[in-house]
Amino acid sequence: MTLVNRLRSVAVPFIFGVGFLAFWEGAVKFFHLKPYFLAPPSKILSQFFDNASRIWGAASVSGMNALVGLVAGTVFGVAMSFILSRFRFLSSLITPLAIALNAIPIFVLVAVLNNMYSITSEIPRRIMVSLVVYFIVLVNVAKGLTQVKTTHLEIMHSYAASDIEILRKVRVPNAVPYLFTALKISAPAAVITSFVSEYFGGSQNGLGSRITSNIANSKNAAAWAYVLGACLLGLAFYLVSVVLENVASRGAGATNNTNK
Amino acid sequence: MSAVHVAGVSKIFNQGTPKQVDALVDVNLTVEPGEFVSLIGPSGCGKSTLLRLIANLLEPTTGAVTVNGKTAAQSRLDQDYGMAFQQAGLFDWRSVAKNIELPLELKGWDKEKRAARAQEMLELVKLPEFADLMPWQLSGGMQQRIAIARALAAHPPLLLMDEPFGALDEMTREYMQGELLRICAETKTTVVFVTHSIPEAVYLSNRVVVMSPRPGRITEVVNVSLGANRSEDTRAADNFFSGITAVREALRGTHADHANAGAVRGVEDR
C-alpha cells in the first residue's frame, strides 16, 4: 500500500515532466519553430552532452562562488545574530534594515564591488553571495535566539541560571532549526546570486556569463544546455541543505513539536 | 521556621503610569513545612503574581517574602524550590531523562549522579521506562509528570505550581491529583498550588487561600484538610462537598463586593 503510494507520488510528476517535454518537442516540430526562437529538448540534451565538460567547468566556477559565499555569509550571519540577541538595542536598529535589504534586489551591488577589485577577480561575486546569505541567516537565527518560550525562561530563572547558561541550554538549541531553515532558503539564493552577479562583468567563466554569451551568439540550444546545468547546480545545493536539515533534526531528536 | 512567609506584600505594575495595575495589595501568608496550600480566585486576582513573588521571578513593590528563613532571592539562588507550570515546558531537544537532569546540571552535579537521580525521579512519577524518549512522544499527562519530576529532581523542600493540570482532561487531571498527593507525601514536600478549580483545591489542600481581584488580595483562608488517606472515595464524601461549598461561598463573598455580574468569572465550578 505504502509502496503503491510512493510509486504514485514519484510517477505522477515524472509522467507530467515527460509529457511536458514531449509536448515541447512536438510543438517545435509541428509549428516548424526556428531554433533561435525555441530549441527542442532533444537538441538541448545533445548540446548538454556535447558540452558536458565545459558546462561542468562553468558550473564549478559558479558553484564555488556560491559555496564560498554561502559559508562566509552563514558564519558572519550567525556571529552577528549572537551579538544582536545579546544587545537588544542593536537588534531594533539592524533587524528592520536587514528585512528591508532582503526585499530589494541587492545583488546589483556587485556592479559597484566589481570596481573595487581586478577585472578577473571572483571576490566581488563571492562577497555578493555572502551578503545575500548573511541577511537571511541573520534574520532567522536572531529570531531563534530571541523567540524562546516564556515558560522555558521562567524555568531557567527559577533555577537561578546565568545568561550564559540560558544561552547555551535554551537559546542556541532553540535556534538550530531556524539556522537550517535559513540554509534551505539561502542555498538556492546563493546559486542564483552567483549566476546573476556574472551578468555585471568580470571573467566570462561561469554558467551565468556562458548563458548570456551563447544567447548573444544565437546559440540558443547551447544556452539552454547551460540553463539545464544551472538548474542542476541549484537543485544540488537545495538537496544538500535538505539532507543537512534532516541529519541535524535527527540528532536533536525532535522535529515534531507537540510540547506546546 | 515557616516554609514561606509573605509579610505586607504589595505588587504594583507600571507604577505611576496610566497603565498602573494594583496586582496585589497588603498580602500576608504563612505556609508551614509539609503543608499543601492552594491559591484560588478569579482571573486577575494576583494568584500567579503571588506565586512568582514567592519564586522571586518578580520583586515585591513593598513588603518582604521569606522562603525557608531566607530572602526569596537567596532561596532562588540556592534552588530551594522547584517550579511547574500549566505548560509542561519540557525542552524538545532533550530526552526525558536529560530534561529531569537540567536543574542538576545547573547545580554542577557529575554525570553518574545526575543519571541515577533522574532514574529515581522517573520511578517516583511511575515512568521508569521512558528515560530515552523525547518529550513529544509523551501524552500531555506524562509530560506534566516529567515536569514535576524535573521540579523535584534536586529534592527541594518547596514545590511551586501554577495551574499545572489546567491543560489536562478531567480524567487525567484527577489521576494527576492523586499522584501529586502521593509524591508530596513520599518526599515530604511543601506545596503552594495555583488553580482555577474549586474541587481540585479542596481535594489537594490543607488550606485554600481565596483571593479577589482589583486590587488583588486575600479575602479568606478555608481549612479543608480531608486527612492523609485521600482516595477516589474522598471525592464522594460529605466533607469533600462541604469543603467545596465553603470555598464557593468564600468566592461568592468576594464577588458580592463587586456585584457586577452573575457568576464568579474565571473559576471553574465543577
CA-based nearest distance A181→chain B, Å: 17
Does B74 reach chain A within 8 Å, measured CB to CB?
no
What is the model's pLDDT at position A108?
74
B91–A161: do the CB atoms touch at under 8 Å?
no
Residues 6 or more apart in contact with residue A112 via CB below 8 angstroms: none
pLDDT band at B254 (very low <50, low <70, confident <90, very high): low
Does residue B108 lie within any of the structural domains?
no
Chain B residues closer than 8 Å to A260 by CB = 87
Domain holding B45, by residue range, is 1-80+189-262+264-268
Which residues on chain A are in Cβ contact (under 8 Å) with B83?
154-155, 158
Non-local CB neighbours of A73 within 8 Å, separated by 6+ positions:
A129, A130, A131, A132, A133, A134, A136, A137, A186, A190
* B87 domain-assigned: no
CB contact under 8 A, A154 and B134: no
Residue B131 touches partner A, C-beta closer than 8 Å: no
Contacts of A161 in chain B (CB under 8 A): 106
Closest CA to B211 of B68, B38, B19, B33: B38
Residue B217 lies in a domain: yes
Instruction: Give bridge partners of residue B223 from the DSSP assignment.
Output: B207
Residue B257, domain member (yes or no): yes
* ipTM, interface predicted TM-score of the complex: 0.81
Of A19-23, A36-40, B174-178, B242-246, which has the strongest mean pLDDT? Answer: A19-23
Q: Give the separation between CA B133 and CA B112, rounded to whole angstroms.
A: 19
Residues of A in contact with B92 (CB under 8 A): 252-254, 257, 259
Q: How confident is the model at residue B186 (pLDDT cuts 50, 70, 90)?
A: confident
What pLDDT score was predicted for residue A7?
A: 83
Distance of residue A174 Cα from the nearest chain B Cα, in angstroms: 8
DSSP B55-104: TTSS--SEEEEEETTEEHHHHHHTT-EEEE-SS----TTS-HHHHHHHHH
pLDDT (0 to 100) of residue A236: 93
Q: Are B91 and A152 inside 8 Å of each other by CB?
A: yes
Predicted pLDDT of residue B179 = 83
Q: Is the dihedral of CA A150, A156, A160, A163 positive or negative?
A: negative
Band of pLDDT at residue B259, cut at 50, 70 and 90: very low
> Which residue, among B51, B81, B85, B93, would best test binding to A if mutated, counting the most A CBs under 10 Å from its CB?
B93
From the list B79, B85, B93, the residue facing A159 with the nearest CB is B79
pLDDT at residue number A257:
40
Residues of B with Cβ-Cβ distance to A165 under 8 angstroms? 106
Residue B177, domain member (yes or no): no
What is the C-alpha separation between B116 and B28, in angstroms, rounded? 40
* Cα(A114)–Cα(A147) distance, integer angstroms: 38
Q: pLDDT by residue (tens digit) across A192-233?
A: 989 888 888 777 888 888 888 888 887 888 888 999 999 999
pLDDT digit string, tens, across residues B50-77: 999 998 988 888 888 988 888 888 888 8
Residue B239 lies in a domain: yes
CA angle B40, B43, B47 (to 5 degrees): 45
Q: Tell me if B125 is assigned to some domain.
A: no
All structural domains of chain A, each given as residue ranges with its CATH number in brackets, are 41-252 (1.10.3720.10)
Contact B106 A252 (CB under 8 A): no
pLDDT tens digits, one per residue of B30-52: 998 888 999 998 888 888 889 99
Average pLDDT over residues B243-268: 63
User: Does B96 or B265 have the greater pLDDT score?
Assistant: B96
Cα of B61 to nearest chain A Cα, Å: 20
Query: Which residues of chain A fall below pLDDT 70?
Result: 1, 102, 250-260
Mutant choice from B91, B95, B155 vs A, greatest count of A C-beta within 10 A: B91
pLDDT in tens, A129-144: 999 899 889 989 988 9
- Say which CATH number the domain at B37 has: 3.40.50.300
Task: Tally Cβ neighbours within 10 Å of residue B171.
Answer: 9
HSE of A142 in the Cβ direction (CA atoms, 13 Å)? Answer: 25
How far off is chain A from B91, nearest CA to CA, in Å? 8
Total tally of structural domains belonging to chain B = 1
pLDDT at residue B269 in the model:
53
Minimal C-alpha gap between B16 and chain A (Å): 25
Query: Residue B45 falls within a domain, yes or no?
Result: yes
pLDDT of residue A252: 55
Q: How far is CA A141 from the centre of its chain?
A: 16
Q: What value does the CA radius of gyration of chain B take, rounded to a whole number of Å?
A: 19
Alpha-carbon gap: B235 to the closest alpha carbon of chain A (Å): 31
B92 touches chain A (CB under 8 A): yes
Q: Which of B51, B58, B65, B48 is nearest to B9 (CA)?
A: B65
Would the CB atoms of A160 and B102 count as touching at under 8 Å? no
Subunit contact B93:A169, Cβ cutoff 8 A: no
Determine the pLDDT at residue B268.
Answer: 54
Sign of CA dihedral A250, A252, A254, A255: negative
